[in-house]
Amino acid sequence: RLRRDGVVGIAPGLAITAMQHALDHGDIALTIADVDWDRVAAGTVAGRRISLFNEIPEARKVMEAAFAPSGDAGA
């Protein structure tokens, strides 16, 4: 189900590198994931924005495009 919703597998080496980076920088709350934000945007509940994604630059960009009024493409 996660794959269908946009969360795809991540290479173990990349995940370990990301985790080590987080530990080295004192991060205490994190998620390491490879996310297809276009797929997540397409599957949002009833076309409603999810505020959690506002803090993730890649997600915010896709969500803003997905929820832009029809006439605002390219604005």
Instruction: Give tens-digit pLDDT for 29-51.
Output: 888 889 888 888 777 756 677 77
- 14 shares its domain with 30: yes
Domain count, the chain: 2
- 71 shares its domain with 40: yes
- Model pLDDT, residue 73: 52
- 26 shares its domain with 14: yes
Selection from 32, 69, 66, 75 nearest residue 48 by Cα: 66
- 52 shares its domain with 75: yes
- 27 shares its domain with 40: no
Selection from 28, 34, 27, 65 nearest residue 49 by Cα: 65
Domain that holds residue 11: 1-35
Contacts of 30 (CB under 8 A, 6+ apart): 22
Model confidence, pTM: 0.58
